[in-house]
Structure 1
Amino acid sequence: MEHLEIERKFLVSSDAYKQEATSQTRIAQGFLNTDPSRTVRVRIMGEKGFLTVKGASNDSGTTRFEWEIEISVKEATNLIDLCESGILEKNRYEVPSGKHIFEVDEFLGENKGLIVAEVELEHEDEPFERPEWLGEEVTGQRKYYNSQLSKTPFKEW
């Protein structure tokens, strides 16, 4: 199947990633649909908007269908107004590690205090360099999915 996203997700054990980051972007996102079998996300990332559809994850939680298209910020803003409650805000840092780039999300608002790193892979068993600040793996744990954080924020855990 085309459009497969293969990624692993981790907690972050220190803020050392900030010194290694090559970029930082503010993200606001909402969900038009949070059904795990077909999540529909609207995102404003810096000066760009995106509409993304994700399918259900496989048993390990590493792989799922993902389709995304860029839309205007105005369109994304209008769609966010239609989203389910629980708009997420976060700062995303891109941090190179070996031949991969980790996306480290520092959540704001009701999810403040939660910092999660994701790395996209070519296949599920692909090896990658583990930065010192990478903590416990949480791949496949639904409570860490952004769609779930919009419903049950970190501060409520």
Structure 2
Amino acid sequence: MIEIERKFLVTSKAFKGEAHKQIRIIQGFLNTDPERTVRVRLKGDKGVLTVKGKSTNDGLSRFEWEKEISKTDAKALLELCEKDVIDKLRYEVDVGHHTYEIDEFYKDNEGLIIAEVELSHEDEAFEKPTWLGREVTGDIRYYNSQLSKDPFKNWTL
């Protein structure tokens, strides 16, 4: 139940031609406390409830628990969520022995594209595709829970 992942900005949309899957995700947060985040997602026709613990100092790993719930329950819980919901399209791209999940954000986070790769241990080697940009692992601004409170459109870069 420990999730280990690295996050990167994406420098081009070339990944779209390599994607083997895409799915729309609407997500909101019932709780965005840094010690424990509770998220509800509508992922295509399925609902998912997720609890995440506090990240390690480097942002590489944290506790994660997920449970599939009905679409009806997910829609009802989304009505209870804090502030703004996240709207994104997720692409999956296989690179070497790993699958990258690339999120292209919409609405208040339009223009932001983030790639994540899950690892089995923190020192695991992985291939980096040409469209992968600067690493943002551990930068809380790029956590979805933060993007719902301080969306990308408000940032000064």
Q: TM-score, normalised by structure 2?
A: 0.98
> Secondary structure of the equivalent of 1:124?
coil
Structure 1 moving runs of 4+ over 4 Å:
none
Match of 2:3 in 1: 5
Distance in 1 (CA, whole Å) between partners of 2:117 and 2:46 is 22
After TM superposition, list the pairs within 5 Å mapping 1:1-150 onto structure 2: 3-150=1-148
Distance in 2 (CA, whole Å) between partners of 1:153 and 1:79 is 21
> Secondary structure of the equivalent of 1:67?
strand
**Can you list the C-alpha shifts for 1:99-136, whole angstroms capped at 9, x where unaligned?**
00000000000000000000000001100010000000
Alignment RMSD, CA only? 0.3
Unaligned runs of at least 5 residues, structure 2: none
Distance in 2 (CA, whole Å) between partners of 1:148 and 1:59 is 17
Q: How many residue pairs get matched?
A: 155
Q: Percentage identity across aligned positions?
A: 64
